[in-house]
Structure 1
Amino acid sequence: MYIPCSVFRRTPLERFDQDLAWHRDDRWFFAAGACHILAYAVLERYGGGFSAAGLWPRAAADLSHVYARNGVWAFDHSGWTPVTELLKASRTAEPDADYCSRPITMDLDEFCARHWHRSRAEFPYDPWPRTHAYITQFDRTAPEPFR
Protein backbone atom coordinates (compact mmCIF):
# COMPACT_ATOMS: atom_id res chain seq x y z
CA MET A 1 0.00 0.00 0.00
CA TYR A 2 1.31 3.43 -0.98
CA ILE A 3 2.22 5.82 1.84
CA PRO A 4 2.10 9.47 0.67
CA CYS A 5 5.11 11.71 1.05
CA SER A 6 3.21 13.97 3.47
CA VAL A 7 3.68 11.30 6.16
CA PHE A 8 7.45 11.79 5.96
CA ARG A 9 7.75 15.59 6.16
CA ARG A 10 10.93 17.03 7.63
CA THR A 11 10.85 18.72 11.00
CA PRO A 12 11.91 22.37 11.26
CA LEU A 13 15.22 21.17 12.72
CA GLU A 14 15.76 18.78 9.77
CA ARG A 15 15.05 21.64 7.37
CA PHE A 16 17.67 23.77 9.13
CA ASP A 17 20.31 21.08 9.70
CA GLN A 18 21.12 19.36 6.41
CA ASP A 19 23.42 16.84 8.06
CA LEU A 20 20.57 15.74 10.33
CA ALA A 21 18.24 15.53 7.32
CA TRP A 22 20.85 13.49 5.43
CA HIS A 23 21.00 10.86 8.16
CA ARG A 24 17.29 10.05 8.11
CA ASP A 25 16.19 6.63 6.91
CA ASP A 26 16.33 6.33 3.10
CA ARG A 27 12.58 6.20 2.70
CA TRP A 28 12.16 9.39 4.75
CA PHE A 29 15.04 11.05 2.91
CA PHE A 30 13.59 10.32 -0.53
CA ALA A 31 10.02 11.16 0.46
CA ALA A 32 10.83 14.62 1.77
CA GLY A 33 13.91 16.56 0.79
CA ALA A 34 15.38 14.45 -1.99
CA CYS A 35 12.38 13.21 -3.99
CA HIS A 36 13.54 15.22 -7.01
CA ILE A 37 16.99 13.62 -6.88
CA LEU A 38 15.37 10.16 -6.82
CA ALA A 39 13.05 10.96 -9.73
CA TYR A 40 15.87 12.19 -11.95
CA ALA A 41 18.03 9.19 -11.08
CA VAL A 42 15.17 6.93 -12.21
CA LEU A 43 15.03 8.85 -15.50
CA GLU A 44 18.75 8.26 -15.94
CA ARG A 45 18.46 4.56 -15.13
CA TYR A 46 15.33 3.67 -17.10
CA GLY A 47 15.57 6.31 -19.82
CA GLY A 48 12.97 6.62 -22.53
CA GLY A 49 9.37 6.27 -21.60
CA PHE A 50 9.84 7.82 -18.16
CA SER A 51 9.41 11.46 -17.30
CA ALA A 52 9.45 13.54 -14.16
CA ALA A 53 6.16 14.69 -12.71
CA GLY A 54 5.17 16.76 -9.73
CA LEU A 55 2.30 16.96 -7.32
CA TRP A 56 1.11 20.53 -7.08
CA PRO A 57 -1.43 21.75 -4.58
CA ARG A 58 -3.84 23.47 -6.99
CA ALA A 59 -3.35 26.93 -5.49
CA ALA A 60 0.46 26.71 -5.23
CA ALA A 61 3.16 28.04 -7.53
CA ASP A 62 5.59 25.31 -6.47
CA LEU A 63 5.13 21.59 -6.20
CA SER A 64 5.30 19.47 -3.08
CA HIS A 65 6.58 16.15 -4.45
CA VAL A 66 8.45 14.84 -7.50
CA TYR A 67 8.27 11.33 -8.91
CA ALA A 68 9.13 9.48 -12.10
CA ARG A 69 6.34 8.03 -14.24
CA ASN A 70 5.73 6.29 -17.51
CA GLY A 71 1.96 6.71 -17.71
CA VAL A 72 1.16 3.50 -15.83
CA TRP A 73 3.90 3.16 -13.22
CA ALA A 74 5.37 5.70 -10.82
CA PHE A 75 8.60 5.43 -8.87
CA ASP A 76 9.33 7.40 -5.71
CA HIS A 77 10.17 6.76 -2.03
CA SER A 78 7.68 3.86 -2.02
CA GLY A 79 9.28 2.16 -5.01
CA TRP A 80 7.04 0.98 -7.84
CA THR A 81 3.41 2.10 -7.56
CA PRO A 82 0.65 2.43 -10.14
CA VAL A 83 0.29 6.15 -10.94
CA THR A 84 -3.42 6.03 -10.11
CA GLU A 85 -2.68 4.65 -6.62
CA LEU A 86 -0.05 7.32 -5.93
CA LEU A 87 -2.46 10.10 -6.92
CA LYS A 88 -5.40 8.66 -5.01
CA ALA A 89 -3.42 8.11 -1.80
CA SER A 90 -1.86 11.59 -1.96
CA ARG A 91 -5.23 13.26 -2.48
CA THR A 92 -6.82 11.19 0.30
CA ALA A 93 -4.03 12.04 2.75
CA GLU A 94 -4.33 15.77 2.11
CA PRO A 95 -7.73 16.54 0.61
CA ASP A 96 -7.33 20.29 1.23
CA ALA A 97 -4.28 20.39 -1.04
CA ASP A 98 -6.36 19.28 -4.01
CA TYR A 99 -3.27 17.88 -5.74
CA CYS A 100 -2.89 17.76 -9.46
CA SER A 101 -0.08 16.03 -11.31
CA ARG A 102 1.87 17.99 -13.90
CA PRO A 103 4.82 17.05 -16.07
CA ILE A 104 8.24 18.51 -15.36
CA THR A 105 9.97 19.21 -18.66
CA MET A 106 13.34 20.59 -17.57
CA ASP A 107 16.60 19.04 -16.45
CA LEU A 108 17.47 18.62 -12.77
CA ASP A 109 19.59 21.77 -12.42
CA GLU A 110 16.96 24.01 -13.98
CA PHE A 111 14.23 22.34 -11.93
CA CYS A 112 16.14 22.99 -8.68
CA ALA A 113 16.72 26.63 -9.56
CA ARG A 114 13.11 27.30 -10.55
CA HIS A 115 11.41 25.44 -7.71
CA TRP A 116 13.68 26.08 -4.71
CA HIS A 117 14.91 22.48 -4.42
CA ARG A 118 18.47 21.59 -3.44
CA SER A 119 20.80 20.76 -6.27
CA ARG A 120 23.09 17.76 -5.89
CA ALA A 121 25.91 20.11 -4.86
CA GLU A 122 23.84 21.59 -2.02
CA PHE A 123 23.49 18.33 -0.10
CA PRO A 124 26.12 17.67 2.58
CA TYR A 125 27.30 14.65 0.54
CA ASP A 126 26.73 13.58 -3.06
CA PRO A 127 23.25 12.01 -3.07
CA TRP A 128 23.72 10.18 -6.40
CA PRO A 129 25.39 6.97 -5.04
CA ARG A 130 22.81 6.72 -2.23
CA THR A 131 20.01 7.26 -4.73
CA HIS A 132 21.17 4.54 -7.11
CA ALA A 133 21.60 2.10 -4.21
CA TYR A 134 18.03 2.87 -3.13
CA ILE A 135 16.62 2.26 -6.61
CA THR A 136 18.48 -1.06 -6.81
CA GLN A 137 16.61 -2.29 -3.71
CA PHE A 138 13.43 -2.29 -5.80
CA ASP A 139 14.80 -4.27 -8.76
CA ARG A 140 13.13 -7.52 -7.73
CA THR A 141 9.72 -5.84 -7.40
CA ALA A 142 9.98 -3.89 -10.65
CA PRO A 143 7.21 -4.40 -13.20
CA GLU A 144 8.25 -6.90 -15.88
CA PRO A 145 9.54 -4.50 -18.54
CA PHE A 146 11.97 -2.88 -16.04
CA ARG A 147 13.66 -5.97 -14.60
Structure 2
Amino acid sequence: MYRLRPGIKQNPEKRWALPDRVFFACGACHILAYACLARFPDRGFRALWIKPAPGFKGSHCVVTNESGLAFDYHGWSRFDRLMAHMQAKANRWWPGWNSTLVELPPDVLISEAKSRTYDGLWLREPKQFLHDAMPRAERYLARFDSGCPLLNART
Protein backbone atom coordinates (compact mmCIF):
# COMPACT_ATOMS: atom_id res chain seq x y z
CA MET A 1 0.00 0.00 0.00
CA TYR A 2 1.33 3.38 -1.05
CA ARG A 3 0.16 6.92 -0.51
CA LEU A 4 0.98 9.34 -3.32
CA ARG A 5 1.79 13.00 -2.88
CA PRO A 6 -1.18 15.24 -3.69
CA GLY A 7 -1.68 15.94 -7.38
CA ILE A 8 0.11 12.92 -8.85
CA LYS A 9 -3.02 10.93 -9.67
CA GLN A 10 -4.54 13.98 -11.34
CA ASN A 11 -1.47 14.57 -13.54
CA PRO A 12 -1.38 12.00 -16.38
CA GLU A 13 2.35 12.43 -17.05
CA LYS A 14 3.38 12.10 -13.41
CA ARG A 15 1.04 9.17 -12.90
CA TRP A 16 2.38 7.33 -15.95
CA ALA A 17 5.97 8.01 -14.83
CA LEU A 18 5.48 6.16 -11.52
CA PRO A 19 7.42 2.92 -11.12
CA ASP A 20 5.29 -0.06 -12.19
CA ARG A 21 4.81 -1.35 -8.64
CA VAL A 22 3.49 2.03 -7.47
CA PHE A 23 1.44 2.57 -10.63
CA PHE A 24 -0.37 -0.74 -10.10
CA ALA A 25 -0.75 -0.11 -6.39
CA CYS A 26 -2.22 3.38 -6.78
CA GLY A 27 -5.07 3.41 -9.23
CA ALA A 28 -4.33 0.76 -11.86
CA CYS A 29 -4.68 -2.39 -9.72
CA HIS A 30 -7.87 -3.32 -11.58
CA ILE A 31 -6.02 -3.34 -14.92
CA LEU A 32 -3.40 -5.68 -13.45
CA ALA A 33 -6.18 -7.90 -12.06
CA TYR A 34 -7.80 -8.08 -15.49
CA ALA A 35 -4.47 -8.97 -17.13
CA CYS A 36 -4.01 -11.80 -14.64
CA LEU A 37 -7.51 -13.18 -15.25
CA ALA A 38 -6.90 -13.09 -19.01
CA ARG A 39 -3.49 -14.77 -18.72
CA PHE A 40 -4.66 -17.59 -16.45
CA PRO A 41 -8.27 -18.28 -17.46
CA ASP A 42 -8.15 -21.93 -16.36
CA ARG A 43 -6.79 -21.43 -12.82
CA GLY A 44 -10.07 -20.54 -11.12
CA PHE A 45 -9.14 -16.94 -10.39
CA ARG A 46 -11.75 -14.33 -9.63
CA ALA A 47 -11.43 -10.59 -9.10
CA LEU A 48 -12.10 -9.11 -5.70
CA TRP A 49 -12.56 -5.49 -4.83
CA ILE A 50 -11.31 -4.71 -1.35
CA LYS A 51 -13.83 -2.00 -0.53
CA PRO A 52 -12.96 0.17 2.46
CA ALA A 53 -15.63 0.77 5.06
CA PRO A 54 -17.45 4.10 4.71
CA GLY A 55 -15.22 7.06 5.51
CA PHE A 56 -11.95 5.23 4.75
CA LYS A 57 -9.55 5.13 1.80
CA GLY A 58 -7.55 2.18 0.51
CA SER A 59 -9.66 0.64 -2.24
CA HIS A 60 -7.85 -2.17 -4.06
CA CYS A 61 -8.47 -4.95 -6.61
CA VAL A 62 -6.78 -8.36 -6.50
CA VAL A 63 -7.30 -11.80 -7.95
CA THR A 64 -7.55 -14.95 -5.90
CA ASN A 65 -8.70 -18.54 -6.25
CA GLU A 66 -10.15 -21.25 -4.04
CA SER A 67 -6.71 -22.52 -3.03
CA GLY A 68 -5.94 -19.12 -1.48
CA LEU A 69 -3.42 -17.98 -4.09
CA ALA A 70 -3.55 -14.24 -4.77
CA PHE A 71 -1.95 -11.77 -7.13
CA ASP A 72 -1.60 -8.00 -7.03
CA TYR A 73 1.24 -5.49 -7.39
CA HIS A 74 3.21 -7.37 -4.70
CA GLY A 75 3.30 -10.45 -6.94
CA TRP A 76 2.07 -13.89 -5.88
CA SER A 77 1.11 -14.46 -2.26
CA ARG A 78 -1.36 -16.20 -0.01
CA PHE A 79 -4.62 -14.26 0.08
CA ASP A 80 -4.87 -14.42 3.88
CA ARG A 81 -1.36 -12.96 4.23
CA LEU A 82 -2.08 -10.25 1.68
CA MET A 83 -5.21 -9.22 3.56
CA ALA A 84 -3.39 -9.24 6.92
CA HIS A 85 -0.65 -7.05 5.44
CA MET A 86 -3.16 -4.63 3.94
CA GLN A 87 -5.17 -4.46 7.17
CA ALA A 88 -2.06 -3.72 9.25
CA LYS A 89 -0.71 -1.10 6.83
CA ALA A 90 -4.05 0.67 6.41
CA ASN A 91 -4.58 0.81 10.17
CA ARG A 92 -1.28 2.67 10.56
CA TRP A 93 -2.65 5.49 8.40
CA TRP A 94 -6.34 5.21 9.20
CA PRO A 95 -6.97 3.68 12.65
CA GLY A 96 -10.07 1.51 12.61
CA TRP A 97 -9.75 0.77 8.88
CA ASN A 98 -11.80 -2.17 7.72
CA SER A 99 -13.12 -3.44 4.43
CA THR A 100 -15.51 -5.79 2.71
CA LEU A 101 -14.76 -8.05 -0.25
CA VAL A 102 -16.84 -7.64 -3.40
CA GLU A 103 -16.43 -10.10 -6.26
CA LEU A 104 -16.32 -8.32 -9.62
CA PRO A 105 -16.97 -9.77 -13.07
CA PRO A 106 -13.89 -9.36 -15.29
CA ASP A 107 -15.57 -6.92 -17.67
CA VAL A 108 -16.19 -4.48 -14.80
CA LEU A 109 -12.42 -4.12 -14.34
CA ILE A 110 -11.99 -2.49 -17.75
CA SER A 111 -15.23 -0.54 -18.07
CA GLU A 112 -15.79 2.80 -16.40
CA ALA A 113 -19.53 2.59 -17.03
CA LYS A 114 -19.89 -0.91 -15.57
CA SER A 115 -17.70 -0.09 -12.58
CA ARG A 116 -19.89 2.86 -11.69
CA THR A 117 -22.85 0.51 -11.20
CA TYR A 118 -21.13 -0.56 -7.93
CA ASP A 119 -21.61 1.91 -5.09
CA GLY A 120 -18.26 3.58 -4.39
CA LEU A 121 -16.41 2.11 -7.38
CA TRP A 122 -15.19 4.18 -10.31
CA LEU A 123 -12.47 2.57 -12.41
CA ARG A 124 -10.56 4.00 -15.36
CA GLU A 125 -10.46 2.03 -18.56
CA PRO A 126 -7.00 0.96 -19.80
CA LYS A 127 -6.99 3.63 -22.51
CA GLN A 128 -8.05 6.37 -20.10
CA PHE A 129 -4.50 6.59 -18.76
CA LEU A 130 -1.86 8.66 -20.58
CA HIS A 131 -1.11 5.53 -22.63
CA ASP A 132 -2.92 2.18 -22.81
CA ALA A 133 -2.25 0.57 -19.41
CA MET A 134 -3.05 -3.00 -20.55
CA PRO A 135 0.30 -3.72 -22.28
CA ARG A 136 2.09 -2.31 -19.24
CA ALA A 137 0.05 -4.62 -16.98
CA GLU A 138 0.83 -7.63 -19.17
CA ARG A 139 4.56 -6.87 -19.06
CA TYR A 140 4.50 -6.37 -15.29
CA LEU A 141 2.59 -9.63 -14.78
CA ALA A 142 5.11 -11.51 -16.96
CA ARG A 143 7.88 -10.59 -14.49
CA PHE A 144 6.24 -12.93 -11.98
CA ASP A 145 5.76 -15.96 -14.26
CA SER A 146 8.54 -17.98 -12.68
CA GLY A 147 7.88 -16.73 -9.16
CA CYS A 148 4.91 -18.93 -8.37
CA PRO A 149 5.42 -22.70 -8.37
CA LEU A 150 1.73 -23.15 -7.56
CA LEU A 151 0.88 -21.94 -11.05
CA ASN A 152 2.69 -24.91 -12.51
CA ALA A 153 0.48 -27.28 -10.53
CA ARG A 154 -3.19 -27.55 -11.45
CA THR A 155 -5.32 -25.78 -8.86
Report if TM-score (shorter chain) is over 0.5: yes
- Contact in 1 for aligned 2:58/2:90 (Cα 8 Å): no
Task: Report deviation, 1:144.
Answer: 2.7
Unmatched runs of 5 consecutive residues or more in structure 1: none
User: Mean Cα displacement is larger for which, 27-36 or 91-100?
Assistant: 91-100
Change (3 A) 1:21 1:56: same
Calculate percent identity across the aligned residue pairs: 31
- Contact in 2 for aligned 1:46/1:146 (Cα 8 Å): no
Residue 23 of structure 1 corresponds to: 17
User: Mean Cα displacement is larger for which, 58-67 or 125-134?
Assistant: 58-67
Task: Report deviation, 1:61.
Answer: 9.9
Q: Structure 2 CA distance, aligned partners of 1:120 and 1:104?
A: 17
Q: Which SS does the other structure have where 2:18 is aligned?
A: coil
Residue 135 of structure 2 corresponds to: 129
Unmatched runs of 5 consecutive residues or more in structure 2: none
- Contact in 2 for aligned 1:112/1:119 (Cα 8 Å): no
- Contact in 2 for aligned 1:10/1:33 (Cα 8 Å): no
Alignment deviations for residues 82-119 of structure 1 (CA, whole Å, 9 cap, x no partner): 00001111111123221232211351215544422211
Structure showing the higher helix proportion among its residues? 1
> Structure 2-normalised TM-score?
0.81
Residue 101 of structure 1 corresponds to: 101
Alignment deviations for residues 27-59 of structure 1 (CA, whole Å, 9 cap, x no partner): 000001100000011000001301100111222
Q: Rg larger in 1 or in 2? A: 2
1:82 aligned onto 2:71:
no
Query: How many residue pairs align between the two structures?
Result: 141
Considering only aligned residues, what root-mean-square deviation do their CA atoms show, in Å?
A: 2.1
Structure 2 residue identity aligned to 1:46: F
- Partner residue of 2:32 out of 38, 43, 47: 38
Structure 2 residue identity aligned to 1:31: A
Q: Which SS does the other structure have where 1:97 is aligned?
A: coil
Task: Report deviation, 1:77.
Answer: 0.4
